[in-house]
A and B are shown apart, each in its own frame.
Chain A
Amino acid sequence: MIAMRALAHASILVANLLGVAVAQQVVAPTPESVGTPRGEDIGGYNVVHSFETGYRFADIGGNRGKYRSDVNFRNGLRLLGSSLSVNSKNGQGGMFDEIILNTLGLGNDPYQFANLRIQKNGLYRYDMLWRLNEYYNPGLTISDGRHFRDTSRRLQDHDLILLPQSKVQFRFGYSGNTQDGPGLSTVQLFDSRGDEFAPFADIHRVRNEFRIGNDIELAGFKFSWLRAWENFKEDTSYLLGSSPGANPEDLTTLDGFRRIEPQHGNSPFWRGNLHGERKSWAVNARITYVGARRNFILDETAVGVVRNATNRQIVAGGNATRPTTAGDFSISIFPGERLSVVNNTSVYSTRINGDSLYSEVNNNRPSNQVYFQFLGIRTITNSTDINYRASSMIGLYGGYHYSSRVIRSTENFSIPAFDIAEGVTARQENHVHSGLAGLRLRPAKPLTISLDAEMSRADRPFAPIADRNFHALRGRAQYKAKSLLLSAGYRQNYNTNSVSLSAHSSRARNYSFDASWVPRGWLAFDAGYSKIHLDTVSGIAFFAGGNLNTGLSSIYISNIHAGNFGARFGIGKRADLYLGYSITKDTGDGRSSAAPPGTTDPVLLLLLPAQTFPLSFQSPLARLSVRLTQKVRWNAGWQFYNYHEKFLVGAAAQNYRANTGYTSVLWSF
């Protein structure tokens, strides 16, 4: 018995070590713990507390904006991580039986996080999740850096359940999401022959959601309902003074620009769910309704010169609504221990209505236009999945899914002043048939193999790149022994969507191999390699040089090789050393320059650089953690980031190199 228990402990230790070694993370906070803290017993509670505080540094060379967009760790003191748990030892505490608090990155890290749970058995359970993201993005790839955002996004979720273990439960919740900070946007003035200007944007968005619900168990069925109110408001404003524009040779200049466009609205939400399960069957029915609405106005004034002096004011207002209903019914039957059959029917229906009254005044010449749009989507899906376990060594599963989607559209446009009114309505229907078949094998206990194939046919996809003739193949094998984990996987997704005058083909293949080995308690290795291949060919048409160019193809080829390696060494009884390395390299289609030297065809010079994007992103790291006392650890780590594009695609090189690191003290008690 004791030997078995010791064996179980050893296997759990190995499993945990494997877990620690599997994924390479950012260098801090330190994953190693001081030990298994026993905590202190205070008044019938056990209290365990730990916190890690230290200094984080970063030394950045190259494109700082791109570094901040990708990594964003900077200098400063941090509470890198902390945890607190308070548990009642008999489950009969006074005001609470459990408090759990975890934090990450507090103090000024770009990614901060705190979660809290307080509960009293049988009476209440409260969960809180708070997150902050210091978001930075210069928009290099969509507007050559003329878009820019340096914002803070704060998210919080609060959920309270009363009587969480009873047959009648009550739920209350609140979620908040705010985004604030400076940014740059762009505007094309005063017409399509004009110039681009970058007004300053004072971004301010707030979302609040309040929830109330109730769960009732009766006669073996559980019925739950939830009512939520979501309020959203955006009050971002845009401002720009005198500007020559982005293209100096262009004659359009701006003396001033101002835009305010508040939009406020709400999305009231209902959800009802009924669930029942017995030994040989189960049912679940759900219905949701969201009645979203946004009210908006826009007031924009631009003063400048375009061939002659121009003053323009635009005023628009209106509202948009989008009621959405989704229903879902599943019935599962289990005719025996080996067979499960699940049939699901779901319905989704949304109607998007928009009214927008648009008024434009150009040098005192008014115009007035009214737009109206409607988009309706209704999807009905029925699926049947069968799962058969033939033996402990072999299992089979398969499924057939059918979907029918109807899209209705209306686009109306009128200019009342000139008695012009136009309207276009359309309706289309798409039917999709999908089949899935899979096989699970376990020829020996440590070895599992799973294979599946999926095929799908759609008769009228909405977009040229959407799935029409789609198939997927997936295979995975895993060998899991006490100190060794080996796995290999393959995924293939192919799609063609070719019609008259347009052909689209997409082929994605992923290969992956992973290994983790823990030869000793103080030594662990893990390594992984993935290749992600994608090649697509799509028919395109565009205007250039005064001509409409047709019959051309957009080609994109990506060959991403991603590798990672990690090694963990226990040095003596007090120190842990972790060394890691990860590299992600897109070799593209193998070319060494955006276009072959001597290429003069302007169409080729346009398309060739966009066909592939070879780059590499690598990050070695090292971390040393030394246990100073039973309760204290000292940690230090270094992580290097190197981002390198093989050739220039945008207007400016985005390459950067950064040395980051930290030193900290972890105290547990």
Chain B
Amino acid sequence: MLGIALLFLLALTASAQAPSTGGYVGSEVCKACHSDIWVNFYKNPHYKSIAAGTLPPESTGCEGCHGPGKGHVEARGGKTTIPRAFSLMPTKGILDTCLTCHAKDLSRANIRRSSHTLADVVCSNCHSIHKSTTPKFLLARKQADLCYSCHSNVRAQFEMPFKHRVNEGFMQCSDCHNPHGAFAPTTRVGLRPRMMEQHGNEESCVRCHTDKRGPFAFEHPPVKVEGCEGCHVPHGSMNARMLTRPAVFTMCLECHNGAGNFGRQGDGIKTQSGSHNMFDPKYRNCTTCHVKIHGSNTAPNFFR
């Protein structure tokens, strides 16, 4: 019933687009006063719409984003006379204005339900159209600085001894995350993980860690069910393999305890065999023998 109602609503609103209301004066008029913005605007990706010279006035130049400028010109300036002055607009208005052109990109397919949108973090919080520090994506600051300005707990993780090299400039947050919202995760269930960019339809980790992707004849099931975060802390960790525990054997034993209805057979994840003697230090480094712990093609116990 909900689907039928939504489709009916779609049909009713399909032709409800607002037509152009006129009042456009063209970017040439704007530059007379806003020469400071205009002087380098040819370096701005949005300049393409002006250079093309074929787009209608509501889709090009200054008025493509800020709306028709006739009233602003007649009032001889003033922020309140700009139809779409971003510093005065409600956040949804900013989002809607940018998505007029940018909604079509696949990377923004989930922006309406993203955590950022729900928290009122919209385009202008991260992007600066006229004073950007990065010419490609018009970010207001370097990407990591932008993300850290809200996610300071994540910054603390990237300052740990072992981490993915974001501060060093080798990686960016967007290598793994989509700040515009992501498709439903393929590992775990529920609301998390959030905003994870996918590689095909798998976790983004395997894009670089190609040897962990498989498929393997013998998969370690939690890799596909719980995801890499089941054992690893991806931002940074006190452990040199970014494991969730400082000693590998406790991490393994916390699942391999034989209890409950867990695991692929649903009867508990099996405990280690009786041949192990944990009082002997050599058995405390599980991956010394179970070397192919992410998945193996020849050994169900991941020996080779």
Contact = CB atoms under 8 A, between A and B. Distances in A.
B246 A649 contact: yes
A346 B184 contact: yes
Interface in B232-259: 238-241, 243, 245-250, 253-255, 257-259
Interface string A315-350: 010111110111010111100011010111010101
Which of B119, B161, B170, B289: most chain A CB closer than 10 A?
B161
Nearest to B2: A343
Given A24-B167, A375-B219, 7 more contacts: A141-B243, A142-B286, A186-B291, A187-B289, A322-B215, A387-B117, A539-B259
Interface string A292-315: 111010101000000000000010
Contact of B110 (A271, A284, A440): A284
A205 B213 CA distance: 12
B21 interface: no
A504 B131 CA distance: 50
Interface string B279-304: 10110111111010000011010011
B260 A512 contact: no
B113 to A, nearest CB: 4
A489 B14 CA distance: 42
Contact of A111 (B79, B117, B170, B287): B170
Interface stretch (A450-458, A517-525, A628-636): A450-458
Interface of B: 2, 6, 9-10, 13-14, 16-18, 33, 36, 42-43, 47-48, 50-52, 77, 79, 90-93, 99, 103-104, 106, 109-110, 112-113, 117-120, 128, 131, 133, 135-136, 140-142, 144-146, 148-150, 152-153, 155-157, 159-162, 165, 167-170, 183-184, 186, 188-192, 200-202, 207-208, 210-211, 213-219, 221-222, 224-226, 230, 238-241, 243, 245-250, 253-255, 257-267, 269, 271-279, 281-282, 284-289, 291, 297-298, 300, 303-304
Given A97-B51, A144-B285, A358-B298, A613 B246 contact: yes
Contacts of A350: 186, 224
Given A324-B201, A542-B271, A177 B210 contact: yes
B264 A326 contact: no
Contact of B118 (A318, A438, A476): A438
A343 B42 CA distance: 40
A346 B261 contact: no
Contact of B285 (A100, A143, A426, A612): A143
A234 B213 CA distance: 12
Nearest to A619: B159
Interface string A170-205: 000000010100000111100011001000000001
A16 B291 contact: no
A610 B288 contact: no
A271 B146 CA distance: 31
A504 B109 contact: no
A246 interface: yes
A48 B226 CA distance: 48
Interface stretch (A52-60, A377-385, A658-666): A377-385
B241 A502 contact: no
B269 A463 contact: yes
Nearest to A259: B304
Contacts of A489: 150, 152-153
Nearest to B33: A1
A83 to B, nearest CB: 9
A432 B91 CA distance: 32
A70 B160 CA distance: 9
B70 to A, nearest CB: 18
B240 A22 contact: no
Nearest to A436: B191
B48 A354 contact: no
A172 B192 CA distance: 32
A69 B238 contact: no
A462 B262 contact: yes
A149 to B, nearest CB: 11
B215 A91 contact: no
A122 B254 contact: no
Given A165-B52, A462-B221, A540-B257, A562 B159 contact: yes
Contacts of B191: 399, 401, 434, 436, 454, 456
B135 to A, nearest CB: 6
Contact of A373 (B152, B156, B210, B218): B218
A85 interface: yes
**Top 9 A-B pairs, shortest CB-CB distance:** A91-B51, A354-B217, A502-B259, A322-B215, A562-B156, A19-B141, A613-B246, A499-B260, A346-B184
10 contacts: A19-B149, A111-B165, A138-B240, A281-B10, A286-B109, A320-B216, A530-B153, A543-B273, A584-B161, A613-B246
B211 to A, nearest CB: 6
A256 interface: no
A554 interface: yes
Contact of B112 (A111, A326, A342, A375): A342
B74 to A, nearest CB: 15
Nearest to B12: A280
Interface residues of A, number: 225
Contacts of A342: 112-113
A371 B300 contact: yes
A467 B226 CA distance: 10
Contact of A512 (B152, B247, B276): B152
Contacts of B50: 91
Given A19-B133, A290-B201, A403-B189, A104 B152 contact: no
B13 A281 contact: yes
Contact of B170 (A113, A234, A513): A113
Contacts of B145: 19-20, 22-23
Contacts of A356: 217-218, 297-298
A346 B18 CA distance: 32
Nearest to A9: B36
Contact of A558 (B161, B238, B271): B238
Nearest to A213: B106
A499 B267 CA distance: 12
Contact of B271 (A319, A458, A541): A541
A4 interface: yes
B113 A554 contact: no
Contacts of B225: 377, 407, 462-463
A361 B87 CA distance: 75
B189 A542 contact: no
A108 interface: no
A137 to B, nearest CB: 6
Contacts of B192: 467
A367 interface: no
A487 B152 contact: yes
A649 B250 CA distance: 13
Contacts of B135: 85, 100
A619 B163 CA distance: 15
Contacts of B170: 104, 111-113, 131, 133
A140 interface: yes
A142 B165 contact: no
